[in-house]
Structures are given as structure tokens and as C-alpha cells.
Amino acid sequence: MSTQSYKNHSRWDVTYHLFVLLVLLLNIIAAGLWYGTNRAGHPWSGPWAILVSIVLFLLALKTRLYATTLQDRIIRLEERTRIASIVSPSELAELESLTTPQLVGLRFASNPELPELARRAVRENLTCKQIKEAIKAWRPDNERV
């Protein structure tokens, strides 16, 4: 595995992104096509199959959203703890306004550059992407999917 950086830090779960979602999307299309050709003989089962297909697709999306939201909450806690261990109490008060997306971006910053980058994020209202682009010494996070 190569060293993680801004250019290669995002990860795709091939099973989820390219198989599960694709099959569920094709299932919606197949249910619609089936209903289009069998409408007369099955007036209720076609709409039901389409509805169930859409619900399954949305369930997969919501499950992913719940997992990433939980990861963000854990990252927020970890980064607030890390910042508190690095900066003085007076500096910590200034950094309390960091948002969750900013903290998610800061997780890649090395300890020496974290305090200044965090202050900059607050002062300049940097986005997660801007924070990641500003990092000089990348701290990998190989657990996030």
C-alpha cells in the first residue's frame, strides 16, 4: 500500500459502491420494465415491486449515511481530544468553534501542524477539502471507508 496523501486518501468499497448499489438500481429499472410489460395481468404487483425496489435502494443509502455519520462523530471526539492534548487551555477556547467537517479534515494533519491549521480553519472558515489541501505532513487514516 502506498503512502496516503490528499490525492489518494479517498476509498471506495467496491462491493458496496459498484455491486450492491448497482444491483439495487438495476432492480428498480427491472421492476419498472416488468410492470410496463405485465401491467394488464398484474395491476398491483408491479407498483409494489417498484416500491420495494426503491425502498431497498434507499435503505442501502441510509445505512451508508448512518455509518459515515457515526464515523464523523467518532472522528470529532478523537480530534477534539487530540487538540486538547496539544494546545493550551486558552488556545482550546478559540478552537471550540471547529465544525465536524473541519475536524474530519484535520484528522490528517500531523501533530506539529495541527494547532496552526486548526486556528487557520477557524479564522478563515476553511472547508474540509481546503484543510486537507493545506496539510503538509499527512497523517494517514486507513480505517475510514
Question: Average pLDDT of the chain?
Answer: 92
Q: Looking at the domain assignment, is residue 12 inside a domain?
A: yes
Q: Looking at the domain assignment, is residue 48 inside a domain?
A: yes
Q: Looking at the domain assignment, is residue 37 inside a domain?
A: yes
Percent of the chain whose pLDDT exceeds 90: 78
Q: Looking at the domain assignment, is residue 31 inside a domain?
A: yes
Give me the number of domains the chain comprises.
1
Q: Looking at the domain assignment, is residue 17 inside a domain?
A: yes
Q: Looking at the domain assignment, is residue 140 inside a domain?
A: no
Q: Which residue has the higher pLDDT, 72 or 7?
A: 72
Q: Looking at the domain assignment, is residue 66 inside a domain?
A: yes
129: CB partners within 8 A, 6+ apart: 105
Q: Looking at the domain assignment, is residue 141 inside a domain?
A: no
**Predicted local distance difference test score (pLDDT) of residue 6:** 75
Which has the closest alpha carbon to 54: 27, 20, 19?
27
Rounded distance between C-alpha atoms, residue 134 and residue 138, angstroms: 10
Average pLDDT over residues 25-47: 92
* C-alpha cell read off for 31: 421492476
Amino acid symbol at 38: N
pLDDT over 90 at 142, yes or no: no
Q: Give the global pTM.
A: 0.78
**Predicted local distance difference test score (pLDDT) of residue 9:** 77
Containing structural domain, residue 23? 6-134
